[in-house]
């Protein structure tokens, strides 16, 4: 039996505008390359500016607070007052932050640079997610998947670019990445023009957003459940992306290079899962995908801490594909529960996901220092059990009756 959340809300006779979806996906990649540079150049900044670890932590805090906490506020504001040209403005702020990181002579300017990149990211994500939904032609899961996979690729290749470009050439070479920001601004200027025309056409057709006549408490409960599912997913993902290399080196004695290959295997699997999750959700329903991707991954996460090296690679790939398929479905489900608040919902879930990943990485690091990295993976392996809460989400029948 399948569950569909979007069916009743799909606009009739509207084609999916793939050039726009692919454009915002590409810009999502560019945006996430820029923000991933911050943590990638920490070792260099620490040495060049004689920073303590608490100062590195404050840089991360500044970036994450601006990038995470501002997103829901930006989304809520633009739900009421759409701002098509805010997209290139957000990328311009990120470019300004890059120049500060490249040429900052003081720690205070480094903080301002990190904050500007965070603000640019906070502006980009809610509005770009809205554009992807507008261009979806009712294929909301597919549009979200394509949009999000751009960010996956950006986060994965950013550290590689930093390793091969910035580290050999020094802090000032960060400014070279302004070319990426400029390209993003040009693309987003064209996207913004399409966004303005599409918004005007939609307003001309009339007929406000559909409503879901579920009790307020039911909707709030569902949103809390979805947030908890994102919480469990991102803590586990943080355990892999931040500490998997150390786990492999400690447990199997592999080289740093081999451990990096294993990490990229996982990151590639995450990208594949993100692409697959949306179309599967469109076909079988978001709730079905959430059941499968969060709870269904539990047997594999429970096995990973005890597997040998070969099976660790296999299991990490399966975990990456299955777990990553959840996020597009979660965002689409939440947007269907609160029609007309696309930007706010996107801001909450993108911001929450990003913020939880950063906090989880810090907490897991402390726990690894105290109890060992293998203990951390044994404990984290139970996190997907939170997927049992999916039973509290509205069913297909309940949503149909509500509409």
What's the average model confidence in pLDDT over 313-331?
Answer: 90
Give percent of the chain with pLDDT exceeding 70: 90
Alpha-carbon torsion (328, 331, 336, 342), positive or negative? negative
User: Does pLDDT of 403 surpass 70?
Assistant: no
pLDDT tens digit sequence for 264-309 = 788 788 888 888 888 888 888 888 899 988 888 999 999 999 999 9
Burial class (CB within 10 angstroms; exposed 0-12, middle 13-18, buried 19+) of 367: middle
Confidence of residue 27 (pLDDT cuts 50, 70, 90): very high
Q: What is the DSSP string of 236-276?
A: HHHHHHHHHHHHHHHHH---HHHHHHHHHHHHHHHHHHHHH
CA 144, 36, 290, 208: dihedral to nearest 10 degrees?
-40
Q: What is the DSSP letter of 84?
A: T
Mention every residue, 6+ apart, whose C-beta is less than 8 A from residue 324: 152, 269, 270, 271, 272, 273, 274, 277, 293
Q: Are 325 and 294 in contact (CB under 8 A)?
A: no
What's the average model confidence in pLDDT over 315-332?
Answer: 90
Confidence of residue 237 (pLDDT cuts 50, 70, 90): confident
Extents of the domains making up the chain:
15-208, 210-403
Alpha-carbon torsion (224, 141, 35, 377), positive or negative? positive
Class of domain 210-403: mainly alpha
User: Does pLDDT of 2 surpass 80?
Assistant: no
| Alpha carbon of residue 136 to chain centroid | 19
The CATH number that domain 15-208 falls under is 1.20.1250.20
Report the residue count for the chain. Answer: 403
pLDDT tens digit sequence for 46-65 = 888 888 877 877 887 788 77
Q: Are 378 and 305 in contact (CB under 8 A)?
A: yes
* Alpha-carbon distances, residue 22 vs 16, 18, 317 (angstroms): 11, 6, 25
pLDDT tens digit sequence for 123-158 = 998 889 889 989 998 888 888 889 988 888 887 787
Alpha-carbon torsion (229, 232, 235, 241), positive or negative? negative
On the question of a common fold for 15-208 and 210-403, the answer reads yes
């Amino acid at each position: 039996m399948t569950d569909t959340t979007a069916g009743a809300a799909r606009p009739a006779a509207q084609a999916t505008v793939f050039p726009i979806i692919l454009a915002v996906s590409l810009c999502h990649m560019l945006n996430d390359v820029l923000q991933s540079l911050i943590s990638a150049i920490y070792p260099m900044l620490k040495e060049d500016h004689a920073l303590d670890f608490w100062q590195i932590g404050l840089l991360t805090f500044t970036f994450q607070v601006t990038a995470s906490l501002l997103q829901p506020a930006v989304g809520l504001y633009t739900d009421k007052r759409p701002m098509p040209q805010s997209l290139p403005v957000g990328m311009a702020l990120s470019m300004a932050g890059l120049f500060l990181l490249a040429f900052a002579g003081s720690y205070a300017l480094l903080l301002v640079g990190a904050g500007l990149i965070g603000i640019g990211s906070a502006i980009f994500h809610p509005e770009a997610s809205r554009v992807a939904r507008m261009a979806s032609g009712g294929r909301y899961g597919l549009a979200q998947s394509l949009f999000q996979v751009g960010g996956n690729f950006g986060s994965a290749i950013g550290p590689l670019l930093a390793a091969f470009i910035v580290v050999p050439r020094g802090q000032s070479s960060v400014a070279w990445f302004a070319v990426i920001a400029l390209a993003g601004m040009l693309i987003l200027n064209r996207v913004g023009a399409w966004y303005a025309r599409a918004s005007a056409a939609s307003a001309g057709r009339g007929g406000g957003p559909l409503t879901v006549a579920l009790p307020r408490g039911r909707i709030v409960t569902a949103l809390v459940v979805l947030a908890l599912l994102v919480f469990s997913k991102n803590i586990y993902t943080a355990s892999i992306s931040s500490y998997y290399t150390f786990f492999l080196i400690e447990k199997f004695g592999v080289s740093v290079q081999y451990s990096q290959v294993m990490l990229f295997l996982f990151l590639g699997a995450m990208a594949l899962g993100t692409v697959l999750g949306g179309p599967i959700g469109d076909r079988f329903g978001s709730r079905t995908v959430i059941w499968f991707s969060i709870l269904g991954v539990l047997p594999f996460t429970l096995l990973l801490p005890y597997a040998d090296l070969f099976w660790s690679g296999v299991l990490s790939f399966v975990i990456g594909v299955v777990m990553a398929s959840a996020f597009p479905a979660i965002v689409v489900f939440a947007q269907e529960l609160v029609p007309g608040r696309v930007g706010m919902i996107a801001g909450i879930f993108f911001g929450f996901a990003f913020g939880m990943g950063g906090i989880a990485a810090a907490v897991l690091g402390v726990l690894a220092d105290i109890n060992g990295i293998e203990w951390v993976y044994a404990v984290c392996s139970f996190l997907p059990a939170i997927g049992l809460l999916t039973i509290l989400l509205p069913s297909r029948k309940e949503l149909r009756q509500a509409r």
